Structure 1
Amino acid sequence: MEAQETTVPRKRHASLATAIYINYAILSMAQIIISQYSSRFQAMWSTDLHGISTVISMMGIGRIITILFAGDFSDRFGRKPVLIVGMIANAVFLTGLMFSSSMLMAAIFSLFLGFANSFDDAAAYPALSEAFPAKSASMNSLVKAAMSLAQFVLPFIVAVIPNASVTLGILAVVVVIDLVMIIMSRFAPQDTVPESPAEKAEEKVIAQENDGKANKPKMKVDGIGLISLGFTISFTFYVYTQYIPNFGTSVLGLSDVAAKSLMSWYAIFSLISVFVTTILVTKIKPIILVILYPLIALAFLVLMIVFPSPMMARVTSAVVGFFAAGGVWQLGLAVLTQYFPQKKGKVTGYYSFAAALTYFVGPFISSFIISTTAASVLQVFWIDAFVTLVGVAI
């Protein structure tokens, strides 16, 4: 009887989980599609790399505008309506970008990808947790796996389909089909799931560890530090993914296709890291990994900048994918919520907001520096390395 009770919910919500993973796969492609088709969009919008960076930064503005209230909407109006809004925003971005004839139009439509990101996160993660309460962590980690796999595939799609409008059209159609799947999917009740005995025991241990005033985490120190990591960790991998194709063409002299393939190295090792880190975190304290992972990423970033070569770029892409994008941001959030268990919702919002700033600040700063010269691209990567160093120091 017990086996039946656990199997039925899985079958009921299998289509929901599938639709969410497809949605995030398309969302992850949308996040890097401008950089992958950079030269094509420059011609379409009569702009240069400065303009491309400005358009990319608008995604961050859209996310910042919506991230603080998207979660409240999800709790108040339900997961399905909010997820539908997010997917419609993504479809608007993809179709709008396809028909944009100027940088201004593209920048306006880029706001919608930021909206999509916020509303999707606010609805999809809770929906998965409610549909699969016994396996919420593993189901949520598969979101990252879907995103990494999609970003691995995109450079190959770009190589086969050089016309950005065709790719955007295909992705928009997939989003619409996926939207129909979401509408038809059964969502779990939004009731609060009771804590399991293991979760209660964990909170008790954390409380006991924090009994001493000397060891008790303080929001002004530990809280601010960890929330800052939400920014620095995201900055490392987001800036890297947006500008590694430029590094390949301008610094290394690679062909356009070869430069974009560096993203595939990043994405496949990001995917591997999701599963490896899930195992490591059961054996090593998360805070140790939060310190160690960015440090390794920093070392290889500096090596790539100082000793640029195609092989070094491939290795660094793999390292950054594994150590900066494969789940360390989620580990930082786990540590933060463990430190402040009574303020989980509030600190999660702050942490996500800090990450959202990355999507604006990174491209915005880069837009003042980046050009087709090798020196300008190297400057952007030095900034990336510096912010990573700040994160390690914090």
Structure 2
Amino acid sequence: MKNKYTPTALALYFNYFVHGMGVIILSQNATALAHQWGTTVTGALAVVSSLGVGRIINLLVSGILSDKFGRKPFVQLGIATYLVFFIGILFSPNTLVAYILGILAGMANSFLDTGTYPGLMEIYPNSKGTSNVVLKAFISAGQFLLPFIVSGLAASGAWYGWSFIVPIAVLAITFLYFLFGGAFPDSKAVTAEEEKEVEEEGNGAVKSNLWVDGALFIIYGYISQATFYMVSQMLTQYGQEVGHMAQAAAHQLVSWYSLGSICCVLLTAFLGKKLREIQFVPVYTLGAFVSILMMWMFPQNAGLMAILAFLVGFFAAGGVMQLALTVMAEFFPAGKGTVTGFFYTAGSIASFTIPLVINWIGDMRGVMFFDVIVALIGFIDTSLIAIRYKHLFGKLGK
């Protein structure tokens, strides 16, 4: 709390609390929005894909520009664009307008990512991984709270738009904070200090290989998103179709998965000052591979499936993606915004392509086996990253 940039960090975290809501707010209000737009619930849900389109449009460019012009303008731009989305949806007359607004929401997420992740690493240079993993906790909190707000409004017969007013109010506060203050560290000065520390440790300047190291991280950006996307999207259906579980028990698997994710965030935050981020990543990817493999091998053991759902949430969705991004920034300290853009663009591509693969495979057991293969590739990839890290920095531990 002695860090003078802590208020800025808190504002950044609350932006991601809103982002957690924004990711699911269209699907949670699909019935009300379908009536407003004069379409079916399926038609309303189709608008959700627009967020992915918007996200991939500007990630790379905004990441590069964030390194050039600083973090604050992109955070402000992200907040403003998100406000246009939340306010615009309330007045959108049809799915076309809603789809355009959804694209803006995806772009807002990209602006926030390329300003926030590098910004937090520069605010907390000695706790980069922890500061980025905490973002995951705020996202999860927003996703956890919104369904209760929506269901409460529906039960009381209140206007669905109140569920949009909550994130609008939070964003308005953070927007005013950054408009009249909200200082960030000088990114170039922080980078120079980091490079100086590396030299003082006796390793000289970091000489990462753009093609080798960059490729390893971009592959993992894709793999990490693909791994937990497949499980999170098909866990309930897998439990019912393959595990022959009752509907209620199958739905509970998602709750166990979410609980595992939250527990991992808490543990990583606790251990973050004692261990380097690189020490977490291969361990978590190995845990994800073993857990998903056991899910594929023993789908009809309901008790074991609940435990495995928790473990998959812990290892695959508890912040390992954010930790890997932090490690990538160590390899390329002068381009934190740029690496954020490349890393999350790879994840966005996974979000587009993996649904096509799932549809092509067809059966749930086959999809789970494919996820086993993807998780294994992720473990191999992060093991190679750890080897490269030791080669560049001379050690893995603190």
Match status 1:244 vs 2:231: no
Per the alignment, residue 70 of structure 1 pairs with 62
C-alpha distance 189-267 of structure 1, shift in aligned 2 (>3 A): same
Per the alignment, residue 219 of structure 1 pairs with 210
Deviations 1:133-159 (A, max 9, x none): 676654443222212333344555566
Q: Percent identity?
A: 34
**Structure 1 Cα separation of the partners of residues 371 and 102 of structure 2:** 23
**Structure 2 Cα separation of the partners of residues 83 and 42 of structure 1:** 31
Per the alignment, residue 213 of structure 1 pairs with none
- The Cα RMSD (Å) is 4.2
**Aligned to 2:79, what secondary structure does the other structure show?**
helix
Aligned pair partner of 2:14 in 18, 22, 43: 22
Aligned pair partner of 1:270 in 261, 271, 279: 261
Deviations 1:92-147 (A, max 9, x none): 54566677798766654432332121011122334545666676654443222212
How do 1:120-139 and structure 2 match up within 5 A?
120-128=112-120, 138-139=130-131
Asked if structure 2 preserves the Cα contact closer than 8 Å seen for 1:244 and 1:259, the reply is yes
Match status 1:182 vs 2:174: yes
Asked if structure 1 preserves the Cα contact closer than 8 Å seen for 2:256 and 2:309, the reply is yes
Deviations 1:249-288 (A, max 9, x none): 65555447x6555433333322221232345566666445
The aligned amino acid for 1:360 is: F
Per the alignment, residue 388 of structure 2 pairs with none
Per the alignment, residue 353 of structure 1 pairs with 345
Asked if structure 1 preserves the Cα contact closer than 8 Å seen for 2:129 and 2:323, the reply is no
Q: Unaligned stretches of 5+ in structure 1?
A: 1-5, 211-215
Deviations 1:44-89 (A, max 9, x none): 854769x95x655443221110101223454566655533432344
Aligned pair partner of 1:191 in 166, 186, 190: 186
Deviations 1:316-338 (A, max 9, x none): 33212211122222332333333
Asked if structure 2 preserves the Cα contact closer than 8 Å seen for 1:128 and 1:139, the reply is yes
C-alpha distance 154-318 of structure 1, shift in aligned 2 (>3 A): farther
C-alpha distance 156-290 of structure 1, shift in aligned 2 (>3 A): same
User: Could you tell me how far 1:233 is from its partner in structure 2?
Assistant: 1.0
C-alpha distance 343-323 of structure 1, shift in aligned 2 (>3 A): same
Per the alignment, residue 385 of structure 1 pairs with 372
User: Could you tell me how far 1:237 is from its partner in structure 2?
Assistant: 1.8
Per the alignment, residue 291 of structure 1 pairs with 282
TM-score (norm 2): 0.74
TM-score (norm 1): 0.74
How do 1:68-147 and structure 2 match up within 5 A?
68-74=60-66, 79-94=71-86, 107-128=99-120, 138-147=130-139
Higher mean displacement: 217-226 or 187-196: 187-196
Q: Unaligned stretches of 5+ in structure 2?
A: 382-398
Match status 1:201 vs 2:197: yes
The aligned amino acid for 1:294 is: T
**Structure 2 Cα separation of the partners of residues 45 and 80 of structure 1:** 39
**Structure 1 Cα separation of the partners of residues 57 and 31 of structure 2:** 29
**Aligned to 2:183, what secondary structure does the other structure show?**
coil
